[in-house]
């Protein structure tokens, strides 16, 4: 057993095996972190979806003739709520929702009584809080995706990733919703 001709290749083989197992386990861990962080994003998105009908109802009472804008918000919410694809496809639906909410807030600007309504202001604050929570959850998710993608793409872990069937994940990128609470004048 003291023969270096046998020990060196055996040590190299053992090191390679240990490295492969550790890398594989690291990839599995990162993949599970991505799943967990996506669940956090999903929870915050659902919270937003629950707020939107209340916001629409409040605006509807003041701006009944803005039916088209309100219907677009409701339709975009339904589409985003039903979206269960990957992060990129869900981001497209979220962008539509964010755009329709921007239009809704533009409508609100034309109604001073609505902007001064306590119920509207409370909903607006809650939506801003939810948007901040979505942004934090999205950053956490995207950080995990970045770490995972680095490991999947960088040598030598890319070899283990390819052999283990690990593929890149998409980032979750949505447009930013205006976060300013309207001023009451």
For residue range 11-35, what is the model confidence (pLDDT) as tens digits?
A: 999 999 999 999 999 999 999 999 9
CATH superfamily of 4-164: LemA-like domain (1.20.1440.20)
Residue 159 pLDDT > 90: yes
Instruction: Check pLDDT > 60 for residue 73.
Output: yes
Residue 37 makes CB contacts below 8 A (sequence gap 6+) with 137, 140, 141, 144
Reported pTM:
0.79
Q: What are phi and psi of 38, to 5 degrees?
A: -65, -40
Distance of CA 152 to CAs 41, 42, 101, 133, 169, Å?
A: 23, 24, 37, 28, 10
- Per DSSP, the residues of 42-83 read HHHHHHHHHHHHHHHHHHHHH-TT-HHHHHHHHHHHHHHHH-
- Cis peptide bond N-terminal to 156, omega within 30: yes
Token representation of residue 39: 């669940």
DSSP code, position 154: S
pLDDT at position 124 over 90:
no
The tens digit of pLDDT for each residue in 29-50 reads 999 999 999 999 999 999 999 9
Number of H helices, E strands in the chain: 6, 0
**Domain ranges in the chain?**
4-164
């Amino acid at each position: 057993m003291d023969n270096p001709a046998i020990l060196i290749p055996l040590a190299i083989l053992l090191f390679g095996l240990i490295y492969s197992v550790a890398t594989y386990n690291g990839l599995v861990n990162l993949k599970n972190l991505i799943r967990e962080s996506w669940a956090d994003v999903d929870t915050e998105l659902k919270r937003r979806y629950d707020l939107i009908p209340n916001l629409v109802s409040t605006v509807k009472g003041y701006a009944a003739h803005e039916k088209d804008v309100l219907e677009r918000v409701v339709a975009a919410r339904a589409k985003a709520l039903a979206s269960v694809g990957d992060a990129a496809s869900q981001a497209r639906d979220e962008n539509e929702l964010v755009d329709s909410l921007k239009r809704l807030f533009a409508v609100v600007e034309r109604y001073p009584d609505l902007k001064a309504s306590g119920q509207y202001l409370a909903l607006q604050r809650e939506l801003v809080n939810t948007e901040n929570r979505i942004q934090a959850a999205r950053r956490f998710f995207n950080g995990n995706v970045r770490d995972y993608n680095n490991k999947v793409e960088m040598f030598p872990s890319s070899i283990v990733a390819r052999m283990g069937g690990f593929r890149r994940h998409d980032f979750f990128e949505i447009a930013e919703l205006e976060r300013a609470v309207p001023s009451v004048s």
